[in-house]
Amino acid sequence: MKICVGTTKGVVILDPARAGTPLMALAEPSAIWCMAQDAGDPNVIYAGANGFMASGRGRGALARSRDGGRNWTDITSNLGTDEDVWALGTPPGLPGEVFVGTSHARIFRSSDQGGRFQECAGFNKIPGRDRWTFPPPPHVPHVRSISFDPNQNATLYVGVEEGGVFRSRDLGYSFEPLNRGIYTDIHIVIVDPSDSRRLYATTGDGFYLSQDAGASWRHITAGLDRRYTVPLLVNGDGQRAIYTAAAAGPPPSWSRPSGADARFFRSDDHGQSFRPIETEGGGMRSMVMRLRDDPATSGDFFGVLNGGGLIRSSGAGERVTAIADKLPPAYDLAVIA
């Protein structure tokens, strides 16, 4: 197994089963915010960057690797825009397809692994988009999440920070808003693989659940003692566990001596309630930015920290320990079995 960690200094490649010096692969963009793998070939990896990170994003905003992260090609020019990249998504069952979410809340689609892109113009026609915003200046909203219904490849969900949740049933040609009852500072939206009517979302004001395909949302607070939720993973076989992590406050507060003061949480009742799970060393100063399945162990996962760490769960997701530290600040990862 190989893990490609997207950091502010490039891609760090690690083998979690072996000790040794990680391999650093310089990519352009060199400061990576988000990653995604091709549905047909996990060695094809996309990496995107934006200027929100402290180190900036360098010259490029989008890169592609065809060899599991060792070598990278800048494909920013294929995107045909000077937009920053905030989200990447690849629909299951559709090799070669990749969707890119950018600043100014735009979406681009490629059917040839990023060779050519076409903008999803229907997303620009959503009523009320002129009211979308983002707290830090210059208050430009962005697409923060792109995910797909694993049971309906043509259905995708988009989360806008700050603008809300939107659904397309035709692979990005048209969209509809799904914002009844949800806080519109969206971080991640995911469809439950076992029930397409059940949606989960992390936001700047906590965790939200929809049981009617996004027609309405419910704010879930049971068992969650922190409100700023970011990562989200639906994991395991049978009755699927849901994992998230929440910080005590938004990113500006993470620079305090206590840091993010983050905790891991698990739900075993389809998002109705949560409980904290054991973390090595107790509370976390760093924030968990992304979680991905561990293909070697059903029910477990990997994650990355903005403080520069790689973590792994054990015991079917009941404990979390650090397996690499002293990395550059990390925001996403790709796992290759």
Number of domains in the chain: 1
Q: What is the mean pLDDT of residues 301-318?
A: 92
- For residue 261, the domain's CATH number is 2.130.10.10
- Domain membership of residue 75 (yes or no) is no
For residue 221, what pLDDT is reported?
97
In terms of Cα–Cα distance, which of 297, 264, 267 is closest to 281?
264
Q: Is residue 213 part of a domain?
A: yes
The conformation of residue 27, written as its DSSP 8-state character, comes to -
| Residue 277: per-residue pLDDT | 92
Is residue 25, in this structure, part of any structural domain at all? no
Q: What is the pLDDT of residue 236?
A: 63
What digits encode the pLDDT tens for the residues 106-162? 999 999 999 999 999 999 999 999 999 998 888 999 999 999 999 998 999 999 999
**Helix (H, G, I), strand (E, B), or coil: what is residue 253?**
helix
- The whole model's pTM is what? 0.94
Calculate mean pLDDT across residues 265-292.
90
Q: Which helix (H) or strand (E) holds 187?
A: strand 186-192
Q: Say how far apart CA 135 and CA 40 lie, in whole Å.
A: 38
Q: Is residue 188 part of a domain?
A: yes
Residue 57 predicted with pLDDT over 60: no
Residue 191 is encoded by which pair of tokens? 């469809």
On the question of pLDDT at 279 being above 90, the answer is: no
User: Over the chain, what is the mean pLDDT?
Assistant: 92
Domain, as residue range, for 121: 82-328
User: Tokens at residue 86, please?
Assistant: 């905030």
Give the containing element (helix H, strand E) for 79: helix 76-79
Cα end-to-end span (Å), the chain: 4
Helix (H, G, I), strand (E, B) or coil at 131: helix
pLDDT at 54: 47
* pLDDT cut 90: percent of the chain above it: 77
